[in-house]
Structure formats: C-alpha cells, structure tokens
A and B are shown apart, each in its own frame.
Chain A
Amino acid sequence: MPVQQPGATDPSVIRNFCIIAHIDHGKSTLADRMLQETGVVDPRQMRAQYLDRMDIERERGITIKSQAVRLPFVAADGVEYVLNMIDTPGHVDFTYEVSRSLAACEGAILLVDAAQGIEAQTLANLYLALENDLMIVPVLNKIDLPAAQPEKYAAELARIIGCDPSDVLLTSAKTGLGVKEVLQRVVETVPAPIGNADAPPRAMIFDSVYDTYRGVVTYVRVVDGRIGTREKVEMMSTGAIHELLEVGIISPEPIVCKGLGVGEVGYLITGVKDVRQSRVGDTITSAQKGATESLGGYRDPKPMVYSGLYPIDGSDYPELRDALDKLKLNDAALVYEPETSLALGFGFRCGFLGLLHMEIVRERLEREANLDLISTAPNVIYRLVDETGNEMIVTNPSEFPNQKIAHIFEPVVKATIILPTEFVGTVMELCQQRRGTMLGMDYLSEDRVELRYTVPMAEIVFDFFDQLKSKTRGYASLDYELTGEEESDLVKVDILLHGDAVDAFSAIVHRDKAMAYGTMMTAKLKELIPRQQFEVPIQAAIGSRVITRETIRAIRKDVLAKCYGGDISRKRKLLEKQKEGKKRMKMVGRVEVPQEAFIAALSTSDAPAAKK
C-alpha cells in the first residue's frame, strides 16, 4: 500500500513526466517496465503494452490517446515519491495534444532507439518540450540489440540537448535493464510541481476520452488549489458548469479518491457524453469562487485535411452516420457533414487533423461499425479570392469555381526531415518535385542530416511520406507544422468518363502538375474499367479544355461458346451472381464501373505517376 495518498500528497514528492519517443522506439515497453518496477502491476497480469488500450493502438504499435499513471517509487533516499507518467501521442497530427501533455509535466524522458537515433517527430516534440522548460532525461533504449550504437547516438543526443554524452542513460526496456536508474534520474532531476494550494482551483485538461459506460473521462493536472468530488466545476473556455461525479487516479486501474491537490494528476467524470464538452487544453475551475484567469494555451482543434468517406454498400449510409456520431464523442477534432457524389453515392465530407488522424478514423469506423468504406483523395483547405475581392474557402474540388479566380492561396508547412546523408540528394529532389523551398540543413552527426523545407501542405498529404520512406529505404523521418499560406497557380482537373465528370476523381493541383495527374488517372482508369459494349473515352480536363485522353475500346465478344444441357445450372448461377455483382457497379452515365475500380483508382499506394 503506497504511503502517499491521492489528494493528500505533498507536491515536493511529486514528479510529473512524459516520454517523448518515436513509434517503435519502445515507449510502451518502457512504460510497461515502469509499471512492473514500481509494483503497481502484478507480473502475472502484465499484458504487453498495458497502457495502449485500443486494439488499433496495440496493432499499429502507436498511442493515440494519452493516459496518466500514478506510480509510487521509493527512491535511493528512502522516500516514497509519486511519479505521474503521462503518455503522449507520438505523431505529427497530434502536435496540439502533445503540447498539452507536455504542459502538464515538469520533465520529459527523451527515449531514442540506440540502433536508429533520433527521428524528426521526436526532435519536433523535444523542441516543444524545451520550449515548455521541461527537464529532459535522455535515454537510449534497445541497447541489447546487436545493431545498437550507444556511443554514436549518445553523442548525437548530447549535442541536440546540450548535455554531456555520459548523462545519457542506457536501457533495454525489453529486458528491464536500466529502468530503475531512469526512475531514479526522474526523481533527482525533474523539478517538483509548484502551485498555490490556497488559490481558487485550476486544473488543465490534457486528455478527454469517451467511455461507453462512464461518459467522458477527463484527465487533468491540478495547478492550483484542490478539486474534490461533489463540487460543481466550470469549463473556462465555454463557461459550462458540470457536477463532478467522480475523481480518481489511474494506477494503472482507476482508483476513486476524494480529491486532487496541487501538482497531482488524475481523472474526473462529470457525466457529459461528448468530449467537445470537456476539451483538451481547457482550464477547469470551481463553479463558485472560481479562478478568473485560465491557464492559457487553449486552442480549438482545427481540421487541416478533408476527404470524402463513402460506404461501399450504399445501404450502409445510416450505419456510417451513426458510427461517425459515436466516434465524434471521443474525437474533438473530427468534423463531418453529409455529401453526395455522383460516383460514390451518399457519404460524408470529413475534416481531420492530418493523414494519420484520417487513417485512424477510417479504420475505427470500419472496425468498430463493421463498415466497408471508400475515401476520396485527401484535400487541404484553399482560400480563393475573386476579382471583386470576395473570399471563398474550398475544402472539396467540387466547390472549386469554374470562373476566373484572382488569387488562390494554399496552406504551407515547415517540414523537417531527418535522414542519413547518403539520401540527401534524392530527398532534395523529392522536395523539389513537391514544390518545396529549402530553409536549411544541419548535420546532427557525421552521417545524419536534418533538412528543413517549406512545402505546400497539399504535396505532403499526397503520398509524400510514402515516397520519402521508399526513397530512403525507411530511414528518413518527417515532421511538419503549418506555417501559413502562399499564393499558387492552382487548377482543378476533372476526369471525364464518356463525357461525364467523375466527381470523386477531380483534384486541385498546381498547373504544372495538371498534365501528370491527368495522365496518371486516365491511364489508371483505362486499366481498371472493364470494356463496355461501346467505346469509352477517358479524358482529363481543366474547365472545358481536354488535356489528355485514353480510350477503352468496345468489347467485341461477350458470349459463352457452349451452353448445352449440363451447362445450364452452372451458367444460371453465374448470371445470378453477376446480378448480385451488378449492385456493386456504379453507373457513370452509361458506363458501368465496378466499385473495385473506384477503390483502386483512389488508392495512392501504386500511383504510376508517382513512380518516377
């Protein structure tokens, strides 16, 4: 039984920290070891990567939603400390969530794979942590691997954070080696939280999770005062008031307590059903005699990427709607509205934080609601200004006007790429092709380079990461952040099938790339669409101007040679099957297009034009 009780813990023995790491660098394994080391989990109950709750997270080996675990740890001085480990998301799409998790901590373990070195997203999160004045505990993991190069990467880390290479701890989370030393270092170097226990309560929400049985579970870090059950609390960004039904800590199962004091980390349940009512970054205070000033740093999540999501079976539309409504309860960043496509039927236009967010949403919809979905090519947000100065926001090629537009602005990002020096030439070429402008280049070590570019975000969302990975044999890592917008010469390319535009294939691209996009799509569709009883032209056009054309020749023979007595049942069954299959055919004008053709044409993974 831990000595320190929740709600009655002296801030001086509290250490709040997070782990900054790249996917696969062993964060979850290290977290698991810490649970074991501090004895909060019985080894027999230990399930690998205890903290990653959702199936998808477990399968993909990444953490989407952070959680906070309270660990009692008796340090070398014999005192029992309370370590609150706040698990941070590790991907570029969730930078804002990461920043809030970091804001809840005084220290961060920088965990780097001793065989791979630091990656771009880790570096970006590290900079974020340094900006938040977090104490950094540098750790090299997986030192048991034969390919580990602890000396090289310790030097690299030392150079980046400005410490001595000997300060870098060496661990193997897999075997448990060095884990205790990491905890000891956290106790020694991470500052204790400071707050005013007598001031009106202020707590920052760093995560908010929807639970089917409990409603929204809100994770907070108390900064000032005390938060107790049966109080009424106020969300400072909206002024909404909720009653606290439950307060507790996670260790690693939920433990109900009476309250949380200065520096403590725990969860609150208010009975709200939608994470939008309990937003990450918001400040919670008491409804009576509450604080007047929030902790700051709150931001509304803004979608950066839009895509259409459609059920493959049109009759699944209501299920998709219900699934989105349900998912929204747990995802404050997801936005959507109904959309109709000529080619794909009824669906939703959805806004996401980024590509990974998009993939995760799609996968969860497919898995949790058992839906088969098609998504259209992702789009960024364009700002258009016409000659009279009227402004228009476009998130969908179908909204792109056909008349003259005076100015078109597109979002640009600052991209940071870390890669081995041998690939610098190839990657520079890729960035050039993607309309990038170089900002700078730094050597992290003898053979590793950090490249910085300004790139239109539209280029990033279109398979940039896949290309980067394939051109560097998986060694490059990427991080990007939105930095603003730039005026660009953009056009909408339509794809016409037998004269009818297929809305799902329209794309907004740079004028110089219109031809490449048109050629790629028409060639792809020529392969994918079966021959019809008539000739089918496939054209790419900008407005009414056709820029490229392919032709699907008419089918000449569509008849079975033999149909005698013994063939009849089999052939009838085949016809019945084809009739079923016809339901999966979409009609574009008179052209029958199999659903699979849309799916294949919309997947960027084997885009022929991208293989240059």
Chain B
Amino acid sequence: MPFGIYVHVPFCASRCGYCDFNTYTATELGSAVTRDTFHRTLIDEIRYARSVAGDREVDTVFFCGGTPTLLEADALNEILASIREEFGLADDAEVTTEANPDSVDAAKLAALREGGFTRISLGMQSSSSNVLKVLERTHTPGSSSAMAKAARAVGFEHVNLDLIYGTPGESDDDLRRSLDEVLDAGVDHVSAYSLIVEQGTPLARKVARGEIAEPDDDIAAGRYELVDSVLRDAGFDWYEVSNWAKAGGECRHNLAYWRGTDWWGIGPGAHGHIAGERWWNHKHPATYAEALGQGGSPAADREVLTSEQVQTEAVMLGVRLAEGMPVSAIPLESRTAAAALVGRGLLDGEALLGGRVQLTDAGRLLADGVVRELLG
C-alpha cells in the first residue's frame, strides 16, 4: 500500500475572503512560533512520525497550507530532506507543493526542483480581475500561466492550475477566458471548484449583509459542464469530480485520500489516516508546537473507524472517482438502489454489470445524492 506525507504550512501573506483553512497572516504566533523557524517544528513531527509509523518508504508528499511557498525554498527543501532521511523516498516519488503565483519566481521554482520537488500546484482561480477581486486574491491575471510556464521551463513535468467557478459576478465568458489561459499554460492537471461560502469567513458575512450575491447552484452546474467540455476537448479526462488530468498527470497523493490508503499529516490541524484510524493535530501552531516540544504527539483527537464508518467513507470517497469502486464496497441492501440510479442515468449501467459503481456525466453533479442513496 502506498504511503503519503502531507505537510501543512499555516502561513499566508494575506487572507482571502472565501478561505476557511487553518492559516495565519502574522509572522509570529506566540513566543514559540515564528514563520522563519517553523520548518524546524515540522521536522520535529517528521521525526516523531518516523518513531511511530516505523519503516515505510514514502511514495507521495504534498505541501499545502496556507501558502507553503511563503517559506524559503531552503526551508521547504530541508523539510523534504528530513522526510527522505527519516523514511526514504521512493525513486518515482511525487512531491508537490502548492504555490501562489506571487509567492514564487523562476529562481525559487528552480531551487525547489533542485531540492526534489516534482510537481507544482498554482492557485490561479480566475483570469478575471473582477473575480479575483471578489475572491480577494492578490495576484494579477496572467501571472499564474506565466508561473506555470516558468515551472515547466525549470523542469517540472507536472503542473496544476486551480480554478474557482461560480463566483458572484463571474460570467460564462470570464470562465472561458480563464480556461483559455489554463490551456495556454500547457499544464497537465486542472482542479476546478465551485465557490463555497464557508461559515465564518468574510465572504459569508458579505453574503449575509447582501453585499455579494449568494453563489447560485444552477449557475455553478452550468459552469461545471462548461469546464468539463472545454477540458475534455483539450485532451483532459476527469478522474475525480473536481479534477482533470492528461494521461499520467493524475495527482497520486490526492488519489490516496479517495482510495482510502495511508498517509501521515504533518503540521498544525493536519489530518492523518493509517489503517482505519484517523487523527488530527492541534489547530493552532503554538499549541501544536508546544505538544511537540514536550516530546509527545501533537494530535488533538483521533477516531478508530467502525466497519460501518469504513464503509461509509469508502462509498463517499470512491464515488467521486472516475474509476469508481467495486460493487462490493456498497452495502448489500443498496444493490437495488444502485440499479435504480442506473435507471435514472446517474450511474453507469455497463460498469455496474462489470462489477463497478461509476458515476455517469450527469451523476457527477449529483454525486452527494448518489452517495446518500447508496448508503440507504
């Protein structure tokens, strides 16, 4: 079974209005945490993880945040080196970092490539300056594709661009232009997410006050179909509800989440999963650092999944994949429901006959409803 490591870097230069991630804009959090030295704390957890997880070669690493590239390339490389030293990295390991177009440049990208990173994921979100403004993104239109090209130029074979669609004020044409920019960048992977108004975010407050219209699900559905058709025509295949890739460009680290394999989550608020046990670290960097400093686990809480919960998760996650899941993954009593979903055009009939549960194109937009029906 593959083994992955997720690294959470909880810093951002500024906070985007829609974001509810565990991230902080201050450079110092309490007396123990500073941005400049935080990679050492993360390395402490890597050592701790090694002492608990034992001998496991790492197949995939994913740096996320926050904005990992707010750390110096040297710091990021040091973290990766520690993983290599403690666990060992597979020869074909996939090592991704997320990046903001305005927190990297060609030199930094080259340094990361040099340090062993193999994949860059850039938060482009949109080409429309209006949309970027509503999202409170600081980068300028065009900078994402430019940085994607720069990444390819320094030797990154795998580059992803993230898009957000359905932002209030976005038009179909805005989205088409964003997709044009994506295709022009020559990347092999695209993630596209409909804008979600998360509770407690500045965006949610603006929507509540009526300053920004609430994103409309019907519009979002149309935009999703637009994204899918443009990418398909350009040679991308969907492999997860919100992810498209050219052949061989699928993100192996993320596939591990949906396939239910093992990974360790390093960093504040990071989640891990090993063999049916899930745990999550203390959210605040200071609390997290303190727990680690005392030589113990930085986990805030954990749960051992019951067999029913394992099944629920397998269906909930497996459905999202183009490869779907074996029929054996769904409860026995739900087989009839699966057949009915084929009848309604949401599940693929041929696949079901072949022993797999797979969404049709129409089923993708209603995947959560499909999950509820498959779980009875």
Binding site for B on A (CB under 8 A): 533-534, 555-566, 568-569, 571-572, 575-576, 578-579, 582
Contact = CB atoms under 8 A, between A and B. Distances in A.
B320 interface: yes
B366 A575 contact: no
Given A533-B369, A556-B218, A558-B367, A568 B317 contact: yes
B224 A557 contact: yes
B327 interface: no
Contact of A559 (B272, B309, B365): B365
A562 B193 contact: yes
Interface string B77-108: 00000000000000000000000000000000
Interface stretch (B139-147, B173-181, B263-271): B263-271
Interface string B211-239: 00000011011101000000000000000
Nearest to A562: B193
Given A561-B196, A579-B375, A568 B224 contact: no
Given A563-B320, A565-B273, A557 B6 contact: no
Nearest to B6: A565
Contacts of A575: 312, 316, 371-372, 375
A572 B316 contact: yes
Contacts of A566: 265, 269-271, 280
B278 A556 contact: no
Nearest to A569: B278
A575 B369 CA distance: 10
Contacts of B303: 569
B263 A565 contact: yes
A556 B316 contact: no
13 contacts: A534-B344, A555-B217, A555-B369, A556-B217, A557-B220, A558-B366, A563-B258, A564-B254, A568-B273, A568-B313, A571-B316, A572-B309, A578-B372
Interface of B: 6, 193-194, 196, 217-218, 220-222, 224, 241-242, 254, 257-258, 263, 265, 269-273, 278, 280, 303, 309, 312-313, 316-317, 320, 344, 346, 364-369, 371-372, 375-376
A558 B341 CA distance: 15
Given A533-B346, A555-B369, A557-B218, 19 more contacts: A555-B217, A557-B224, A558-B366, A558-B369, A559-B366, A559-B368, A560-B368, A561-B193, A561-B194, A561-B196, A563-B317, A565-B257, A565-B263, A565-B271, A566-B265, A566-B271, A568-B273, A568-B278, A569-B271
A561 B242 contact: yes
4 smallest CB-CB distances across A and B, nearest first, come from A556-B221, A561-B193, A557-B221, A559-B367
A16 B278 CA distance: 77
Contacts of A564: 254, 257
A557 B367 CA distance: 8
A169 B217 CA distance: 69
Contacts of B371: 575
A558 B280 CA distance: 27
A557 B271 contact: no
Contacts of A582: 372
Given A556-B221, A557-B220, A559-B241, A565 B265 contact: yes
B230 to A, nearest CB: 18
Contacts of A563: 257-258, 316-317, 320
B111 to A, nearest CB: 27
